[in-house]
Amino acid sequence: MTAKPKNNKNNKPAHKIKPKVITPTAKAPKHGARYVAAHGVREVLVDGTPLDIALSGQALFVQLERRDRAFARLIAATVFRRLGQIDKVLAPFIKKTPTDYALAVLRTGAAQILFLDTPAYAAVNGSVALLRRSKKTAHMAGMANAVLRRVTEQGQDLLAKTSTLDNIPTWLLKSWTESYGVEASQKMADMLIQEPPLDLTTKPGIAGPDGEVLPGGTVRLAKAGDVRALSGYDEGNWWVQDVSAALPIRLLGDISGKRILDMCAAPGGKTLQLAAAGANVTALDKSEGRLERVKENLARTGLKADIAVGDAAKWRDPQNTSGGGFDIVILDAPCTATGTYRRRPDVLHNKKPEHIDSLARIQEKLIMAAARHVAPGGTLIYCTCSLQKREGEGQITKFMQNRTDFRLNSLLGIEDLGVAETVTPEGVVRVLPHFMHEKGGMDGFFVASLSCG
């Protein structure tokens, strides 16, 4: 029953479509959180919009109280963590295909009943009320009432016959199984249904909020909450960064005084790591708006970096326009971000196979551009938060065929990454989300280190 993204008039990629802002009428919806969640779910599945934008892009969202905004996010996120299972429970009771929005209302209602311990009457009545608000959907209110009452009565029995593998889109599950095997795919599916912990990277020599300290120094908190309320936020003692995303910089060792280019730098976690380690950093990104966030974090933490706005594929170093001026170049390339599904479960549903094709072409251009900035004897770090091997291992293979002056640095000698299986026999880092599962897992990530000359 998963809706397919529709073609848009401008033929823009689905992940670049700006969400339609839903402006509440003078009479705001009584069930505001449910209203926002249902529209957000529809926006992701029909238009391919990232969930955060699909929610925050609604005018009503900012008018909700904090707890209602959190409830809206929880409902929508639960739908994407459990979409396959929810659809299997709903399927026997849906006789006629509903509209996109009505289906989103059914999914959000079922999520509340099956997984969120919402009183059934509240979930059913709230869902029915959403459909009755519009003449276009009012005729489906009776259907929704009947379907969700059946879910209340029989849902748990039907749910017991499902698997967490049902929540992974078929094309992705096939890809993961081919790349990592059946057992690993099952473990990755199991990670999807869990709320992830919050990881913080601290400035050297400064302790973060009370939490578990992971290998490498990442501080892990069981729950996120409002990060601005955590101790040390205002003082700039730390920043939010998944333990996997912190790995590429940890691999570099002592970088004090080295000139380093952080390509595609926003939102800036690696820039902050590099600056905190004493490097002379240039943070490059084509999005001036996203670089504002980098500047804000630099100001909050009291760290320094040069900011450069430009297309990484075309940018020239003003200090060395002929290229080859950086000791280290970090390329965290744009990718499908499928490895981040623990925190962003919608990425499994707003990405399609064709996105891999277009992003792979961008990655090829960017890694070649990155190589031009590496000084002789310098290092190029290529990384992505994708689980798709074409965006990781495949890119390195192709790059080394094109640039025979680069050699792959084996990372097998790197110690204390925290997970024994992180480094592959080929010497690259391949992190899967179920690694450290007993501690809450980690983002899927790929890292390769290459030397010039």
Residue 36 and residue 141: Cα distance in Å, rounded?
A: 18
What are the tokens at 142? 């009776």
Find out whether 221 and 233 touch, Cβ atoms under 8 Å: no
SS3 assignment, position 285:
strand
Least Cα distance to 443 among 338, 366, 352 occurs for 338
From residue 33, alpha-carbon distances to 29, 40, 226 in Å are: 9, 10, 19
326-332/259-263 β-pairing = parallel
User: Which positions ≥6 away from 160 have C-beta within 8 Å?
Assistant: none
SS3 assignment, position 429:
strand
Least Cα distance to 357 among 380, 391, 308 occurs for 391
335 is catalytic: no
What are the tokens at 163? 């698997």
What are the tokens at 37? 């969640």
Q: How many CA atoms lie within 13 A of 52 on its CB side?
A: 4
180 membership: H or E segment, kind and range:
helix 170-180
User: Which positions ≥6 away from 361 have C-beta within 8 Å?
Assistant: none
SS3 assignment, position 236:
coil
Length of the chain: 453
Number of CB atoms found within 10 A of residue 394's CB: 14
In Å, the largest CA–CA distance within the chain is 70
Number of CB atoms found within 10 A of residue 30's CB: 11
SS3 assignment, position 13:
coil
Least Cα distance to 342 among 196, 153, 219 occurs for 196
What are the tokens at 375? 């000084």
| Marked catalytic residue, from 264, 383, 385, 452 | 385
Least Cα distance to 265 among 302, 293, 227 occurs for 293
Name the DSSP class of 256.
T
Can you state the angle between helices 83-90 and 141-159, rounded to 10 degrees?
110
Determine phi and psi for 309, rounding to 5 degrees.
Answer: -100, 125
Catalytic residues: 385
